[in-house]
Amino acid sequence: MARIGFVGLGNMGAPMARNLVKAGHDVAVFDLSSEAMTRVEGARPAASGAEAARGAEFVITMLPAGKHVREAWLGTGGLAAAMGPDAVLLDCSTIDVATAREVAAALPRPFLDAPVSGGVMGAEAGTLTFMVGGPAEAFARAEPILRTMGRTIVHCGEAGAGQAAKACNNMLLAISMIGTCEAFVLAEKLGLSHQALFEVASKSSGQCWSLNTYCPVPGPVPASPANRDYRPGFAAALMVKDLGLAQQAAGETGAATPMGARALELYRRFVEEGGAETDFSGIIRMLRGGRESA
Ligand code: NAD
């Protein structure tokens, strides 16, 4: 059993903290929202983030964005002031690589950036994927804790490498989803059935996760969000956030990512036109709008 401080009990943080409690850990929790504080039965409510972190062996944050993470760890009265001498610090939020590196460098204890994929369902089921950046020794200590919340845990390298892996993966996902949608839109115009395209492409060189597992038209893959009116899944608004982080990283490093930039433009438009809460595969509806609208 470990003593754990957990800060940020939103859609993702609350079920993750519940899995830590279920595994028998002693968990102290804090969220700015008093309603969120009621979401983790069996945890000890703390009056502040610093109180949740006091004496903890592991301190975990799950917050909206980089500015919240910087403030929570480095701000006045923040977590850094309160943690124990041997604590391992983890941030599981999805934030920009530069802030993850800045926070890691500023803290006196080992800090791991450990963003996740798998969404709320993965957080509830304890099947998240963790992409982790930071010192190998801290990773080795944290891995059993991460394993109570996730199934696939990958040490990606030094500070920021977890966020880098998340940004690269999700940029690739957005591009492959748009490409998959475009193939179905063209097939429709050519009178080729969804099923026929799926049967050929899912076994040929066009195969990818967006097609084979998360098919953006109803029928070929019964479990995909297309079969339930594009209820998420992974909401388009979150894809816009992740693509923005990838473009920020590309700008900071001088990487050429023209398809990533275009994917961000298209997903932004989809969100502005009302698609924010729609699954990201629902962008096929906008792409059907025709040449000039894309
Ligand atoms: P959320 O908005 O539901 O929850 C964030 C929580 O943090 C809120 O309860 C808020 O009150 C709390 N908070 C903000 N600042 C705080 C502070 N200083 N101290 C204490 N509490 C504070 O967000 P979420 O959906 O749980 O996502 C959390 C992170 O996980 C984000 O970075 C998101 O990009 C990432 N993520 C989300 C999903 C998803 O499907 N929701 C999937 C993968 C990754």
pLDDT in tens, 125-156: 999 999 999 999 999 999 999 999 999 999 99
- 64 in the Ramachandran plot: left (φ > 0), alpha (ψ -120 to 50) or beta? alpha
To the query of whether residue 166 is one of the catalytic residues in this protein, the response is yes
Give me ligand 1 centre to Cα 126, in Å.
17
Shared domain for 55 and 121, answered yes or no, is: yes
Question: Which residue in 166, 189, 203, 241 is the catalytic one?
Answer: 166
Side-chain-side CA neighbours of 247 within 13 Å: the count stands at 17
- Asked if the model's pLDDT at residue 195 lies above 80, the reply is yes
Q: Which atom of ligand 1 is nearest to the CA of 75?
A: 18
Residue 293 domain-assigned (yes or no): no
Residue 190 domain-assigned (yes or no): yes
Q: How far, in whole angstroms, is CA 21 from its chain's centroid?
A: 22
Atom 31 in ligand 1: residue holding the nearest Cα = 64
Across the chain, what does the average pLDDT equal? Answer: 95
DSSP state of 149: T
Could you tell me which of 42, 58, 48 has the C-alpha nearest to residue 92?
A: 58
What is the predicted pLDDT for the residue at 258? 98
Shared domain for 108 and 178, answered yes or no, is: no
Give me ligand 1 centre to Cα 194, in Å.
37
Query: What does the alpha-carbon distance between residue 100 and residue 92 come to, in Å, rounded to a whole number?
Result: 10
- Residues 133/112, Cβ–Cβ less than 8 Å: yes
What is the predicted pLDDT for the residue at 80? 80
Shared domain for 137 and 190, answered yes or no, is: no
Give me ligand 1 centre to Cα 199, in Å.
39
Residue 89 domain-assigned (yes or no): yes
Q: What percent of the chain has pLDDT over 90?
A: 91
Shared domain for 85 and 178, answered yes or no, is: no
Q: Which of 125, 158, 191 is the last residue of a domain?
A: 158
Amino acid, single-letter form, for residue 104: A
- Give the Cβ contact number of residue 237 at 10 Å: 16
Q: Which of 158, 174, 209 is the last residue of a domain?
A: 158
Give the pairing of strands 128-133 and 116-117: antiparallel
Q: What is the mean pLDDT of residues 172-176?
A: 98
What is the predicted pLDDT for the residue at 82? 79
User: What CATH number corresponds to the domain at position 247?
Assistant: 1.10.1040.10
Shared domain for 189 and 109, answered yes or no, is: no
Query: Which position has the token pair 């899995």?
Result: 19
What is the predicted pLDDT for the residue at 44? 97
- Asked if the model's pLDDT at residue 41 lies above 60, the reply is yes
Task: Pick from 48, 61, 62, 245 the residue to mutate for probing ligand 1's pocket: most ligand atoms within 8 Å of its CB.
Answer: 62
Shared domain for 168 and 154, answered yes or no, is: no
Residue 292 domain-assigned (yes or no): no
Residue 207 domain-assigned (yes or no): yes
Shared domain for 168 and 116, answered yes or no, is: no
Shared domain for 144 and 168, answered yes or no, is: no
Q: What is the mean pLDDT of residues 168-177?
A: 98
Task: Pick from 12, 90, 234 the residue to mutate for probing ligand 1's pocket: most ligand atoms within 8 Å of its CB.
Answer: 12
Domain count, the chain: 2
What is the predicted pLDDT for the residue at 2? 96
Residue 294 domain-assigned (yes or no): no
Residue 173 domain-assigned (yes or no): yes
Atom 38 in ligand 1: residue holding the nearest Cα = 119
pLDDT in tens, 49-59: 999 999 999 99
Q: Which of 138, 158, 178 is the last residue of a domain?
A: 158
Residue 210 domain-assigned (yes or no): yes
Shared domain for 126 and 189, answered yes or no, is: no
Shared domain for 58 and 152, answered yes or no, is: yes
Could you tell me which of 195, 149, 174 has the C-alpha nearest to residue 287?
A: 174
Query: What does the alpha-carbon distance between residue 136 and residue 84 come to, in Å, rounded to a whole number?
Result: 20
Q: Which atom of ligand 1 is nearest to the CA of 115?
A: 44
Shared domain for 176 and 149, answered yes or no, is: no
pLDDT in tens, 230-286: 999 899 999 999 999 999 999 999 999 999 999 999 999 999 999 999 999 999 999
Shared domain for 125 and 141, answered yes or no, is: yes
- Domain with 251, as residue range(s), is 164-287
Give me ligand 1 centre to Cα 196, in Å.
41
